Amino acid sequence: MADTDDCIFCRIVKGQDQTSIEKVTDRVVVVQDVRPIAPIHLLIIPKQHIRDIRDAEPYLWDDIRKVVTEIASERKLSGFRITTNAGDAAMIPHMVIHMLAGITSDRAI
Ligand SMILES: [Zn+2]
């Protein structure tokens, strides 16, 4: 699927946005959310413009798992939450994984 110039996540992936990039792998770019809802709130953005998890190939999901595991280890996180929106629940039609940390288990989703 082709990427699009009017997609904010495609612009971030291409380095055309001012967002500071935390990490880059072959398939994803990790940045800080500009409107964090947790002490640590990262966005894991697939480089490929795919709509949501329904279009994600298994290898992409495996890469995301590896990146999440790396981040948790590097930052010595004792816990974290990952979420992803799809369809009408997503603000932008480009799959993104939210990784939240510094939260407690009693906090509502
Ligand atoms: Zn995109």
In a domain, 30, yes or no: yes
CATH number for 73:
3.30.428.10
pLDDT digits (tens, 9 = 90+) for 12-53: 999 888 888 999 999 999 999 999 999 999 999 999 999 999
**What pLDDT does residue 17 have?**
85
Domain count for the chain = 1
In a domain, 52, yes or no: yes
When the pLDDT of each residue in the chain is averaged and rounded to a whole number, the result is: 91
In a domain, 61, yes or no: yes
Which of 41, 49, 94, 98 is catalytic? The answer is 98
In a domain, 84, yes or no: yes
Burial class (CB in 10 A: 0-12, 13-18, 19+), 25: middle
pTM confidence score: 0.91
Average pLDDT over residues 81-102: 95
Residue 13 sits at φ, ψ, to 5 deg, of -60, -35
Distance 107 CA to ligand 1 centre (A): 31
In a domain, 2, yes or no: no
Say whether pLDDT at 2 is over 70.
Answer: no
Catalytic status, residue 94 = no
Domain assignment of residue 89, given as a range: 8-101
In a domain, 3, yes or no: no
User: For the CA atoms of the chain, what is the radius of gyration?
Assistant: 13
Distance 40 CA to ligand 1 centre (A): 23
